[in-house]
Amino acid sequence: MSSIMHLATTIDSVKQLSLSANHRVFSQGQMSQHYIYVQSGSIKVLRHAGNGREFVLYRIKPHEMCVLTTACMLGNFAYPADAVTETETEALLFGQADFDQLTTSSAEFRNFVLANFGQRLTDLIKQLEHVTLKNIDQRLAEYLLRMTDKSGQIKTTHQFIATDIGTAREVISRHLKAIEKKGIIKLGRGTIQIINKKYLLDLI
């Protein structure tokens, strides 16, 4: 959003960062110090459960801001989750003072923050419904269909899928092997080839 970029140029203390993939942006328990605006790339926000599992809450895509960062800066409390870049990412960091100034002086910035906050909350509720109301087969089928490329292939790991849909790696491995035996997919080293797309569509 060019208007946010324009606002950023009016504040000397706004930082522009280039982050590599798998860079930890913030950690659970850390106090929020900067408001994050993603220009390019992708950041996943994930929660660590008590049993050691991880669960992706949402992703921050280009021209979006982080709902947890917003909540933490408004409420002055620590992050309840972690954030890690999935790809090379360009981002702007607004400090607390900059954030307070812009939300007070710029209706455009304030409306953008509130709109993003509302959208991310809606996405988070949908994600929670997805995990609680759909079984593993449905969630796995949706993931495979969403992530497949034009050739019908997905480059991923069993652990990554487990984190993304909120279950254990061994559960994913068991279900993938079961549908491979049915001829629905073909498993490779770090890859999954979709053979029967209709079967997956029928599951959801």
Task: Please provide the CATH number assigned to the domain covering 136-203.
Answer: 1.10.10.10
- Is the pLDDT at 3 greater than 70, yes or no? no
Least confident of 121-130, 164-173, 175-184, 187-196: 121-130
Number of H helices, E strands in the chain: 8, 11
How much of the chain, in percent, has pLDDT values that exceed 90? 39
Fold of 2-132: Jelly Rolls (2.60.120)
- Is the pLDDT at 176 greater than 60, yes or no? yes
Which residues are paired to 90 by β-bridges?
Answer: 18, 40
Mean pLDDT of 155-172: 88
Alpha-helix residue ranges (DSSP H) falling in the chain: 2-9, 67-75, 96-105, 107-133, 136-147, 158-165, 169-181, 197-203
The token duo for 46 is 């994930």
* Gap between the Cα atoms of 167 and 32, Å rounded: 28
* Gap between the Cα atoms of 155 and 138, Å rounded: 20
Residue-wise pLDDT tens digits, 184-196:
999 999 999 999 9
Q: Looking at residue 30, what DSSP letter applies?
A: P
- Is the pLDDT at 120 greater than 90, yes or no? no
Q: Domain residue spans in the chain?
A: 2-132, 136-203
- Is the pLDDT at 85 greater than 90, yes or no? yes
Least confident of 31-40, 56-65, 118-127, 191-200: 118-127
pTM, full prediction:
0.69
Q: Phi first, then psi: what are they for 32, rounded to 5°?
A: -75, 130
Q: Phi first, then psi: what are they for 44, rounded to 5°?
A: -100, 140
Least confident of 5-19, 38-52, 113-127: 5-19
Q: How confident is the model at residue 9 (pLDDT cuts 50, 70, 90)?
A: low
